[in-house]
Amino acid sequence: MNMKIGILGGGMVAQAIGGKLQALGHDVMIGIRNPDAGELEKPRNGGKPLKEWAATTGAKVGTLSATAAHGELLFNCTQGNGSIPALKSAGADAIGSKILVDVANPLDFSKGMPPSLLPEFAHGTSLGEEIQKLLPNARVVKAFNTIANAVMVDASLVPGDHDLLIAGNDAAAKAEVSALAKSFGWASIVDLGDIVGARSTEHLLPIWIRLWATSGSAMHNIKIVR
Amino acid sequence: MNMKIGILGGGMVAQAIGGKLQALGHDVMIGIRNPDAGELEKPRNGGKPLKEWAATTGAKVGTLSATAAHGELLFNCTQGNGSIPALKSAGADAIGSKILVDVANPLDFSKGMPPSLLPEFAHGTSLGEEIQKLLPNARVVKAFNTIANAVMVDASLVPGDHDLLIAGNDAAAKAEVSALAKSFGWASIVDLGDIVGARSTEHLLPIWIRLWATSGSAMHNIKIVR
């Protein structure tokens, strides 16, 4: 079923997910804080200038609030250290009770590489939980935050059997996100329970980064064995 | 090759590793802070009273410093929030340049369950790195800290192909620890590079705990897929 989908954030993760969804037939808008002409021509956090991205994909670009209003289902692809203000700018009214897939990771680059987790999201909470607290009516599903952006939308880039990890309070929302993930090629999806499970997937970033640093490739993931 | 091995700590992890090594023919001593008669009769952190454990296994029990002196190779199986003082008590002179396998996790139970990582070991460092800084001559190898104690010493308790993750600065030390791990049934060992890799394995505790909480079983591990 094709949907209107809003992607909050305009970097490489937003472009990978938004581009894939548009290619699959969905009606995608990417939202950034200031989508003015100059901003659309700048390269963005590992991605293309959004003017070029929109021309290539056929997707739209708008403000955060217009994107939240456009989507029947939303993705948070902002950087983790700016997700809370970006979601406030998108607006609780426009987000309402929609599914909000939280792909962000609360990484702290302020002390250099490798990044740590931001302390305010790493002890007794997580970014996913804080987003759910900020937007109690939204159906937050933490997902896709443990793999490279290319792998998020094409699971076959990592060979063999490996897992997409999801967590959230609403079973129907997780089922809908799982259906989207299957359209990206994900055969194995591990449900880590309610949104508290976001702690465990956000804590996977250090090993993801370490494997990247020691192997030179981002094309990896984990399989839960039990 | 049979060795004299010292296990710092007396809880269930120390008992599992010490008991297995003694059964494999090594000469094992477990060390705790105060191994007096009363202390040896108390149940210990998920394990047996050490008097009973020693009688069953044939291994010895002593002080932290006697155990550090006894072992040609040492394991840190103390609780993570007490590892630094326990290692100071064991003594840098007795530890010297021996291999020190760090199995501890810096878990913070002060805010209830599930535990978070202790902030002082979770941002820009790790417990493994802090132990290496405390004991610059020791050859610290972070290993075995990402699975249940029963699985540490019997990899076949988790079915199929799954990984033991190790990190440390000394390649020869990692090779020796890998040989011990093979004697515990580990077929696949992933080297995460120098001791900074300890950050990534200590950060796996939240997903280990989450899988335990959501499945009710501790018999699980991960496989790195790439």
d(CA B35, nearest CA chain A) in Å = 35
Which one-letter amino acid corresponds to residue B141?
V
Supply the pLDDT for residue B99.
99
Give the C-alpha separation, B196 to B202, whole Å: 11
Q: Does A156 touch chain B (CB under 8 A)?
A: no
CB atoms B211 and A223 under 8 Å: no
Beta carbons of B158 and B221 less than 8 angstroms apart: yes
Q: Does A222 touch chain B (CB under 8 A)?
A: yes
Supply the pLDDT for residue A216.
94
Any alpha helices (H) in chain A, and if so which ranges? 12-23, 37-40, 50-57, 64-70, 83-90, 92-95, 127-134, 149-152, 171-183, 198-202, 205-215
Q: Does B164 touch chain A (CB under 8 A)?
A: no
Chain A neighbors of B107, CB-CB under 8 A: none
Q: Does A224 touch chain B (CB under 8 A)?
A: yes
Please state the φ and ψ torsions of residue A142, each to the nearest 5 degrees: -80, 125
Q: Does B223 touch chain A (CB under 8 A)?
A: yes
Q: Name the nearest CA neighbour of B169 among B200, B146, B206, B197.
A: B197
Q: Does B214 touch chain A (CB under 8 A)?
A: yes
Please state the φ and ψ torsions of residue B27, each to the nearest 5 degrees: -105, 100
Flag whether pLDDT at B211 surpasses 80. Answer: yes
Supply the pLDDT for residue A111.
84
The first and second tokens of residue A37, run together, are 């002409």
d(CA B90, nearest CA chain A) in Å = 30
Say what the ipTM of the complex is: 0.96
Give me the residues of B, 111-140, that contact A with CB < 8 A.
Answer: 111, 114, 116-117, 119, 122-124
CB atoms A122 and B124 under 8 Å: no
The first and second tokens of residue B109, run together, are 């139970």
Average pLDDT over residues B70-99: 98
CA-to-CA dists, residue B152 to A121, A224, B165, B170, angstroms: 30, 16, 11, 21
d(CA B217, nearest CA chain A) in Å = 9
CB atoms B122 and A122 under 8 Å: yes
Average pLDDT over residues B136-148: 98
Q: What is the pLDDT of residues B164-196, one digit of tens each?
A: 999 999 999 999 999 999 999 999 999 999 999
Give the C-alpha separation, A121 to A130, whole Å: 8
Chain B neighbors of A213, CB-CB under 8 A: 193
Chain B neighbors of A201, CB-CB under 8 A: 207
The first and second tokens of residue B193, run together, are 């590079």
Supply the pLDDT for residue A45.
81
Q: Does B195 touch chain A (CB under 8 A)?
A: no
Q: Give me the residues of chain A with pLDDT under 50, please.
A: none
CB atoms B206 and A200 under 8 Å: yes
The Cβ of residue B4 has, within 10 Å, a number of other Cβ atoms equal to: 14
Chain B neighbors of A224, CB-CB under 8 A: 211, 220, 222
Return the residue matching tokens 């209107």.
A4
Give me the residues of B, 82-111, that contact A with CB < 8 A.
Answer: 108, 111
Q: Does A206 touch chain B (CB under 8 A)?
A: yes
CB atoms B207 and A207 under 8 Å: no
* Preceding omega of A114 cis (within 30 degrees of 0): yes
| pLDDT confidence bin for B4, thresholds 50/70/90 | very high
Chain A neighbors of B217, CB-CB under 8 A: 226
The first and second tokens of residue A164, run together, are 């997409």
Q: Does A199 touch chain B (CB under 8 A)?
A: yes
Q: Does B207 touch chain A (CB under 8 A)?
A: yes
In chain B, % of residues over pLDDT 90: 97
